[in-house]
Amino acid sequence: MNVSKILISFLFSLTAFSAVWHADNSWTPQYESEYSKWMTSQAVHARIFVDKNSKYYGLRADCADAAYAMRAIFSFENSLPFAISNPSGGRASQTLTNATNAFDKYRDSHKRVVAFLDYLGESVGTENLSRLDTYPVALKSIRPATLYTYKIKGRFGKVIRHAYTIKNIQSTGSFDLIYSTQAIKKDNLPMNYRKGKELVNLPQTVWGFRRFKWPSTLANSNTTLASHFSYSEEQYSLARELGSNEFFSYVKDLLKTENETPNSIIKRVLDNACAEAVARIDYVNQGVAYNLSRNGKCMNYTDYDIYSTPARDKALKASFEALVYNWKKVGSKVSDNHLAMLVESIVNPTYVDRDLVTEYCPIKVEGLKTYNLAEIWERVQSGALSSHPNDSLAARWGVPGVRTSCKVWY
């Protein structure tokens, strides 16, 4: 090979690896439709960042990180541009994009993407996601890959934020959600994938059902977006008018392609209460294990924020409240006697067939016992469950145990 060919090859290699990836295509409504289809596919799964056979193995992502990552991965695989607002006013660029050359030391394209996403995860969060990089959508336009974000007040002026990605929409209008958490990120665990998970916290201000802006529209006002973006603020006034149960029922009615029978409504909300209660086992165990690893040393705000469960316990409570609400609404029309006996055993304290409820949804807490939904609902109503990660396992589940004197951060 002569000197000129060597020089050309060298210069080409510098160019080839200057960006995280090169965008040869542009975002269009068709690509948005493809993104939505991709989200429902097996390519998007809970173990995408922890499976050693995955091309994106090694990424540690919390809820906002995961939402950004899935958008970026689709962009990379389809040679599309990716850009988000740069949260640091001190940096030269207004955006963080796939064109950055900060990761060109990684020769493997997928490792370069993972390194880029790791960097984004340390730079942005749910505030950026909701305020800068997404826009609210018309409720009828909700589809797979739409995000749902929320922000709720905690104690002492603190707030709790979270983001879900809609992986699929069931024929009844219910959502299958995929999402991560701070505890998942810290402990490097698979994401959560919950079929039919009920949303609880209402849209407000910039929080709610949202979709990503295109890089070309990132700096534009939402009101200037073309009609195909389906920008709308309607969810906020409707949420204020209807309240939680009625608002999310309204959304389901808009999106459903088949009607739910009273039996299926009750089965859905009952299954959701079971899923929330069972999911709490791992949430609590993560905090208990971390607490024991530190010999009970009081957690600082960061660790408390990762391992406490006030938002999850609120969702647990809301799942039971949805069961009670729907039972009052359609319970008299339920024709499945077994299902009716199950619900009555949970919501009616004068009639409890504990064996029946335990068989339906055993909540097996290792080191304590197997609980049922009737017991959990009793403890939720009495406020016996503890969200504090410095409390003992027993105290976390509302039975006599060590209650911490450590600070409650929110």
pLDDT band at 89; cut points 50, 70, 90:
low
Average pLDDT over every residue of 327-347: 96
Instruction: Indicate the residue among 242, 272, 303 that finishes a domain.
Output: 242
Dihedral of the CA atoms 215, 219, 224, 230 (nearest 10)? 40
pLDDT > 90 in the chain, percent: 88
pLDDT, tens digit, for every residue of 123-177? 899 999 999 999 999 999 999 999 999 999 877 778 999 999 999 999 999 999 9
Taking Cα atoms as reference points, which of 139, 104, 284, 297 lies closest to residue 210? 139
Residue pLDDT, tens place only, 99-111: 999 998 999 999 9
Are 77 and 222 found together in one domain? yes
Distance CA 288, CA 305 (A): 14
| pLDDT at residue 349, as a whole number | 76
Percent of the chain as helix, strand, coil, to the nearest 5: 50, 10, 40
How many residues does this entry show for the chain?
A: 410
Q: How confident is the model at residue 11 (pLDDT cuts 50, 70, 90)?
A: very low
Over residues 319-348, the mean pLDDT reads 96
Of 96, 93, 45, give the one whose Cα is nearest residue 68.
Answer: 96
198 and 125 in a single domain? The answer is yes
pLDDT digit string, tens, across residues 27-63: 999 999 999 999 999 999 999 999 999 999 999 999 9
pLDDT at 122 over 80: yes
Asked if 61 contacts 180 with a C-beta cutoff of 8 angstroms, the reply is yes
Is residue 310 assigned to a domain?
yes
Q: Is 157 left (phi over 0), alpha (psi -120 to 50) or beta?
A: left
pLDDT-derived band at 15 (thresholds 50, 70, 90) equals very low
- The DSSP output letter for 147 is E
Q: Is the pLDDT of residue 13 over 90?
A: no
Residue 16 lies in a domain: no
Which 3 state secondary structure label does DSSP give 56? coil
- Is pLDDT of 341 > 90? yes
> In this structure, is residue 249 part of a structural domain?
no
Question: What average pLDDT does this structure show over 347-351?
Answer: 82
If phi > 0 it is left, if psi is from -120 to 50 it is alpha, else beta; for residue 243 that is: left
Range of the domain at 369: 260-410
3-class SS of residue 203: coil
Q: What are 297-305's contacts with CB under 8 Å, separation 24+?
A: 298/390, 298/404, 298/406, 298/407, 299/389, 299/390, 299/406, 301/409, 303/389, 304/389, 304/407, 304/409, 304/410, 305/182, 305/409, 305/410
pLDDT 10s digits, 188-210: 999 999 999 999 999 999 999 99
**Nearest Cα to 193, choosing from 332, 45, 400, 298?**
45
Token output for 163: 């983001």
Distance CA 234, CA 103 (A): 41
- CA geometry: angle at 192 spanning 173 and 256, to 5°? 5
Judge if 226 and 274 occupy the same domain: no
3-state secondary structure of 114: helix
Among residues 242, 268, 285, the one where a domain terminates is 242
First to last CA, the chain: 67
At residue 2, does pLDDT exceed 70?
no
Going by C-alpha positions, the residue among 217, 224, 210 that lies closest to residue 81 is: 217
Which segment of 149-163, 250-264, 372-386 scores lowest on mean pLDDT?
149-163
> 151 and 284 share a domain?
no
Residue 17 — very low, low, confident or very high, per pLDDT cuts 50/70/90?
low
Which carries the bigger pLDDT value, residue 365 or residue 90?
365
Kindly report the backbone phi and psi dihedral angles of residue 19, in degrees, each rounded to the nearest multiple of 5, phi listed first.
-110, 160
> How deeply is 54 buried, as exposed, middle or buried, from its count of CB atoms within 10 A (0-12, 13-18, 19+)?
middle
Using pLDDT thresholds of 50, 70 and 90, give the confidence band for residue 187: very high
Same domain, 86 and 145: yes
Q: Which residues of 246-263 are buried (b: 16+ CB within 10 A; e: fewer)?
A: ebbbbbbeebeeeebebe
Q: What is the pLDDT of residues 220-229, one digit of tens each?
A: 999 999 999 9
Pick from 188, 207, 242: which residue ends a domain?
A: 242
Choose among 332, 171, 325: nearest CA to 262. 332
Q: Are residues 108 and 200 in the same domain?
A: yes
- Quickly tell me which residue has 């799942």 as its tokens: 319
Q: What pTM was estimated for this model as a whole?
A: 0.89
In a domain, 14, yes or no: no
> What is the rounded CA–CA span in Å between residue 152 and residue 144?
24
